[in-house]
Structure 1
């Protein structure tokens, strides 16, 4: 699959006259709990030639390619850096991905060095906590629950808990969030479900897990209670402006 992904990225570069600066896997494959039939969710940052950025009209700043189980979505470098300044959670997840398909090494290194200065705990918590409550409602309402829904709920709830407890960017890998779970029974239940998910397809419906749901509701209520204490943060614009200019003039 990696060869196909690289082929498609090269085709995108030719078709749109862009340079792909960075491409990584996101979604369940990057989070560490894929199903056998999980899609490949590839996200990339690209750059146009210099003159593209000198026009007065707004232009399309994203590229999408969807075909079967291959889902590629790219953001222009300017859009990507604007979103980083806003502490966009997706940007932090893409940079943490353990599965890298393509990269301009110096660009990625500079972006990784800058990124922590733009993380806003308040924005991150709002992102993950709102998603977690939405997933919880989906799970709570069903007697047979999609196993992937339980893991989406687990990941977003624990990411919220991480921000409350550590006031930092939550790790992308699900396994790195699990030390937050101190209850042994819950640990064993999650381990069992992880093993099951690696063997079942995306449509698998699992019998309701009331104890797991109760545990996660306790986590969500705690995070919601602590949310007003979490502070907002906004990084300076000039460092990412500098990265934008350097990349634009250095990478052809």
Structure 2
């Protein structure tokens, strides 16, 4: 699959006349709880030649390729930096991914170094808390719950707790969030579900875990009560401008 991903990335470069700065896996494979039939969710950041950015008109800033279990979506560097400045969670996640398919400059390392200055705890919590509450409602309404839905609920809930208690960017990988589960019975339950998740397909439905749902709802209510006390800020734009100018000035290919 890695060879196919690289082939498609090269085809995108040629078709749209761009250079992909880096491409990484997101979704369940990067989070650490894939099913055997999980999609490959590849996200990439690319640049055009410098002259492309000198047009007075806004131009297409997203490219994608979707086929079967392969899902590739890329953002132009300018769009990516603007979204990072706004604490876009997807940007922070793709930067942290342990699975990097392609990297052609040191852009990723430079952006990783800058990223903490652009993470607003209040904005980040709003993102994860909103997602977690939606997942909770979906799980609560079912007697047989998709197992992947429980893991989406778990991850976003624990990301919310991380932001509230540790005041920073939550880690991408699920196992790094597990120390936040202090109840040993719940921790054991999650470990059992992790083993099961690796064995069943994405459509697998699991008997309702009422105690787990109530435990997570308690965390969500706690995080919601803390939201108003979290900082809200936006990092300085100039460091991102400097990285943007430097990157589009790199020798082409």
Counterpart residue number, 1:167 = 167
2:90 is matched with 90
Residue in 1 that maps onto 2:118: 118
How far, CA to CA, are the matches of 2:127 and 2:103 in structure 1? 27
Q: Aligned runs of 1:146-161 on 2, under 5 Å?
A: 146-161=146-161
Single out whichever of 103-112 and 17-26 deviates more from structure 2: 103-112
* Structure 1 stretches lacking a partner, 5+ long: none
- Tell me what 1:103 maps to: 103
SS state at 1:206 partner: strand
**2:28 matched to 1:28?**
yes
| Count of aligned residue pairs for this structure pair | 252
Partner of 1:225: 225
Counterpart position of 1:60:
60
Q: Deviations along 1:75-98, whole A, 9 cap, x unmatched?
A: 000000000111111000000000
| Aligned partner of residue 195 in structure 2, secondary structure | helix
- Match of 2:197? 197
Pick closer, same or farther for the CA change 1:16–1:220 going to 2, 3 Å: same
Q: Corresponding residue for 1:2?
A: 2
* Residue of structure 2 in register with 1:129 after alignment: 129
What is the TM-score of this pair, normalised by structure 1? 0.99
Query: How big is the shift at 1:104?
Result: 2.5
CA distance in 1, matches of 2:129, 2:6: 34
Find out whether 1:188 has 2:188 as its counterpart.
yes
Which TM-score applies when normalising by structure 2? 0.99
What stretches of structure 2 of length at least 5 have no aligned partner?
A: none
- The CA distance in 2 between the partners of 1:112 and 1:136, in whole Å, is 31
CA distance in 2, matches of 1:27, 1:139: 19
Q: CA RMSD in A?
A: 0.6
Number of the residue aligned with 1:70: 70
Q: Distance in 2 between matches of 1:81 and 1:104?
A: 18
Please give the residue correspondences for 1:202-213 in structure 2 after superposition, counting only pairs within 5 Å: 202-213=202-213
After the TM superposition, which segments of 4 or more aligned residues of structure 1 sit over 3 Å from their partners?
none
Q: Whole-Å Cα distance in 2 between the matches of residues 93 and 170 of structure 1?
A: 9
Q: What is the distance in 2 between the residues matched to 1:83 and 1:130?
A: 18
